[in-house]
Amino acid sequence: MVSLKRPELLAPAGSWDCAKAAVENGADAIYFGLDRFNARMRAQNFTEADLPQLMEFLHRRGVKGYLTLNTLIFPQELAEAEQYLKTAIAAGVDAVIVQDIGICRLIRHLSPDFPIHASTQMTVTSAAGVEFAQSLGCQLVVLARECSIAEIEKIQQQMGEANLSLPLEVFVHGALCVAYSGQCLTSEALGGRSANRGECAQACRMPYDLIVDGQPLDLGNRKYLLSPQDLAGLEVLPALVKAGVHCLKIEGRLKSAEYVANVTRVYRQALDQVIAKCDRELATPTARYQLEMAFSRGLYTGWFQGINNQELVHAQFGKKRGVYLGTINRIRNEEVAIQLQAPLKPGDGVVFDCGHPEAKEQGGRVYAVKMRGDEAILQFGRRDINWRRVHVGDKLWKTSDPELDKQLRQTYAGEKPQFQRPIEIEVYGELGDKLNCIARDEQGNIVQVESTSALAEAQTQPLNPERLQAQLERLGNTPFYLKKLTSHLADGLILPISELNHLRREMTAQLEALKAKPKRWQLNPQNVLPALLPEPSPPGLSEPQLIVLVRNLAQLQAALEAGSETIYCEFEDPRKYKEAVQLVRASNRAKIWVAPPRITKPGENWILQQVRACDADGYLVRNYDHLKFFAGEPCIGDFSLNVANALTADYFNRNFNLERLTASYDLNSVQLTDLLKTCPPTWFEVTIHQRMPMFHMEHCVFCAFLSSGTDYRNCGRPCENHTVTLKDRTGTEHILQADAGCRNTVFNGTAQTGAESMQHLMSLGVGHFRIEFVSETPPQVIQTIHRYRQLMRGEITGVQLWQTLKVQSQLGVTRGPFLNAE
């Protein structure tokens, strides 16, 4: 029989209470952030001064602690990040979770053995991504949430074929981002708050209207078109374990300690069942109830079982609901009658759902529950509910269970350990010798103690294995339980019970002390940053070039008519690239570069082959698969590579033959200036005009709301027949487009420009500026190109360009976050 390898269970901790809740409910590791550089800046977080105490507590309890440094790091922050990392390494943190490629380099030069975990913010979706992470010195990769179990198995297979051995981690429970982590620019576009900087504004949880071919589509109460249900991988745990996943991660550093205790306990028990090959149901009604009460916008297996766009987003609400209780049958005398679908008792909190979650909803504590036949009559406190806003047919949700919360708090209250981990004890001894005890835990820690008095000949009740077991397993006030006792004692010996008790206490005390010692990673005491930074170079004097990115053939023809010399194409259908290349070659005056889709998953190299078959002059590379597939071809690194500092830029420049890099869209003008001053500016091109690609999603809005299909195989391809926008609460219509992998991008309905910074950037030595188009008409393309040429020649100012384009309301250009200092 093949034994299953137990995955590590990783729980979130945004505070000390959360850390205790995770430990006492069976987490093998926690992940946490400090007050800088982490993707949950709104969490309570820990301080650098907390680190030694936190790590001692965790290690004493046999739990690992992973520090999140999973944001992009800007140029002026590198020195601070170096000191921050030294503190973490010295404190014995077990690993750091990293997004920024430059920070991976910095860590590896600070310490050759300190573990790095590649964050899900690195957007790893393939074996090529794992290989890239390994080349950076990472010891583990957190895959994108969008990977199915079948794709995880394929990645594992391809890793084996390539002799890659990095363990893989996946999110198993919690909130799902609708956009690929590390590729969401929505908060940046709408408010200058970057999700890549831990400041996500959760625009995906807002309501949108679907505008199809210029007309609103009535979707009833479905308004939350981009808000996925919460991930619950409980029922697919056996498949995840079988797939060889090394670590199962629970999302929720912004959640309460009760949430952490609840979810961790459910998954600990379920995982133990899987490993024990117990065939009992995992997603029991009790387990589901507990998870829904912890936090739920609806629970679903996410992308684990493949793509089902009808199920992923129900679109009815975007906030916590909890447990569904039923619909209101009658309202009379400030009482409601309902056929309960779940348990309810006095003191529980409920909310009435009238189908308008964006409005203020009625709710409160239940005062009494009376059964009349199969109906429950619910009473509430006087004046708690505005009954004019409650209707027959409204749904009722249970949002609070004080009794459950109390039980959960008790699991981590006090100082006494409540979750115990196994130890094994061996005892040795001969007549006249001292009793020798050796204890070891599951992590390999080992201690040895001996009695103060010698073993004597027993007249009655010798120390047989049963009597030894009875004394040595009394570990109630320790973090241990006795899993196995092995006795090598000779027969007929005895030792006072007080001696056995002393040995037991001494063993556990020494084992705890040994476990609590900080990990001793190697650490370079010098500041390594100066030696890693590239040599800046003086600004070049060559005439700057204007690059135009188009997204259809009509725009391409317009760009040619406007005299563009370098054109990028990003089409939904890569088969059209051949025609685009022929058009450009016929003009005999421009170079054409084409872009593959931003995400590549196992089995999608056929798309890259289609792209390369067009024989373009070069390729816009956007992910790790592109870097590998197009190696040896002329390539330019796009914004999705997240180049935000000199260490990252230098890595790409040294290791990949890229002609240029596109600076990260997370950089404002001040940070971009810092980048250009710390690197040769000729390495970069700057996107100066665009509609920000906000959400980049596996979720297909076309399929979900314009078809009854589940994915590309049965949706009927509505993306090819309809023009769709998403109208937000301000009235702005954001443009929706699909790509060859059926992934959707939502482009900001309002274009933004960095025109007022252009002269400054030219003076710093930037020689390549990009302007991008999405849905603009050919005349708009020609006019916009003309205005930017005037700007580059100094014939108009940036202010004049912006004001001119702003006047033309169809362009809708604003300054955007490009000019906003953080």
Say which range, 358-367, 537-546, 710-719, has the weakest mean pLDDT: 537-546
* Percent of the chain residues past pLDDT 70, beyond the cut: 96
Q: Report DSSP letters for 495-529, one per residue.
A: --HHHHHHHHHHHHHHHHHHHHSPP------S--H
For the segment 576-611, what is each residue's pLDDT rounded down to a tens digit?
Answer: 999 999 999 998 889 999 999 999 999 999 999 999
Residue with tokens 């007249």, as numbered in its chain: 459
Q: pLDDT at position 74, please?
A: 94
pLDDT at 1 over 80: no
Q: Is residue 277 predicted with pLDDT exceeding 90?
A: no
Q: If you average pLDDT over residues 326-332, what whole number do you get? A: 95
Amino acid identity, residue 750? Answer: T
Mean pLDDT over 197-204 rounds to: 79
pLDDT, average across residues 47-59? 94
**Confidence (pLDDT) at 201:** 75
| Average confidence (pLDDT) over 675-697 | 94
Higher pLDDT, 207 or 816: 207
pLDDT digits 0-9 by tens, 491-523: 899 999 999 999 999 999 999 999 999 889 999
Q: In 10 A of CB 185, how many CB atoms? A: 24
The mean pLDDT value for 28-35 works out to 94
With tokens 């570990």, the residue in question is: 475
Mapping DSSP onto H, E and C, the string for 189-209 reads: HHHCCCHHHCCCCCHHHCCCE
**What is residue 332's predicted lDDT score, i.e. its pLDDT?**
92
Q: pLDDT digits over 763-772, tens only?
A: 999 999 999 9
Which residues neighbour 729 within 8 Å (Cβ) at sequence distance 6 or greater? 206, 207
Residue 663 exposed, middle or buried by CB count within 10 Å (0-12, 13-18, 19+): buried
pLDDT for residue 311: 96
* pLDDT score, position 41: 60
Q: Provide the pLDDT confidence category of residue 538 given band limits of 50, 70 and 90.
A: confident
Q: What is the pLDDT of residue 810?
A: 27
Is the predicted pLDDT of residue 298 greater than 50, yes or no?
yes
Check whether 192 has a pLDDT greater than 70. Answer: no
Burial of 514 per CB tally in 10 Å (0-12, 13-18, 19+): middle
Indicate if the pLDDT at residue 156 is higher than 50: yes
pLDDT confidence of residue 664: 93
Q: What is the number of residues in the chain?
A: 822
Q: Closest Cα to residue 645, out of 75, 49, 4?
A: 75
pLDDT-based confidence at residue 168 (cuts at 50, 70, 90): very high
pLDDT > 50? residue 427: yes
What's the sign of the alpha-carbon dihedral 430, 433, 434, 439? negative
- Which pLDDT score, from 0 to 100, does residue 43 have? 62
Q: Which two tokens stand for residue 39?
A: 């993707």
SS3 6: coil
Provide mean pLDDT across the span 84-107. Answer: 96
Split at pLDDT 50, 70, 90, the class of 802 is: confident
Average pLDDT value for residue range 458-476: 92
Q: Residue 673 has which token pair?
A: 């200036």
pLDDT of residue 818: 43
- For residue 123, the model assigns a pLDDT of 97
Helix (H, G, I), strand (E, B) or coil at 40: coil
- Is residue 816 over pLDDT 80? no
Q: What is the pLDDT of residue 756?
A: 86
Greater confidence, 678 or 3?
Answer: 678
Coil vs helix vs strand at 213: coil
Q: What's the pLDDT band for 819 if we cut at 50, 70, 90?
A: very low
Predicted pLDDT at 809: 28
- Helix count and strand count (H, E) for the chain: 25, 37
Instruction: Read off the pLDDT band of 442 (50, 70, 90).
Output: very high
pLDDT in tens, 640-650: 999 999 999 99
| pLDDT in the model for residue 811 | 27
Predicted confidence (pLDDT) at residue 434 exceeds the cutoff of 60: yes
- pLDDT of 36 > 90? The answer is no
pTM: 0.94
What does the block give as tokens for 456? 């004597």
User: What's the chain's average pLDDT?
Assistant: 92
Asked if the model's pLDDT at residue 623 lies above 80, the reply is yes
Q: Evaluate if residue 805 carries a pLDDT over 90.
A: no
Residue 668 scores a pLDDT above 80: yes
Instruction: Provide the pLDDT confidence category of residue 820 given band limits of 50, 70 and 90.
Output: very low
Between residues 809 and 227, the one the model is more confident about = 227
Mean pLDDT of 144-154: 98
Q: What pLDDT, on the 0 to 100 scale, is given for residue 528?
A: 94
Interval 118-146: pLDDT, tens = 999 999 999 999 999 999 999 999 999 99
Higher local confidence (pLDDT), 687 or 539: 687
Q: Which amino acid is at 704?
A: A
DSSP 75-96: GGGHHHHHHHHHHHHHTT-SEE
Angle at 63 between CA 58 and CA 68, to 5 degrees: 80
| 308-311 contacts at long range (C-beta below 8 A, 24 or more positions apart) | 308/710, 308/711, 309/699, 309/700, 309/703, 309/704, 309/709, 309/710, 309/711, 309/715, 310/703, 310/704, 310/708, 310/709, 310/710, 311/229, 311/710
306 pLDDT exceeds 70?
A: yes
Compute the half-sphere exposure of residue 543: CA atoms within 13 Å on the CB side of its CA: 6
Predicted confidence (pLDDT) at residue 806 exceeds the cutoff of 70: no
In which band, very low, low, confident or very high, does the pLDDT at 199 lie, cut at 50, 70 and 90?
confident
pLDDT of residue 460: 87
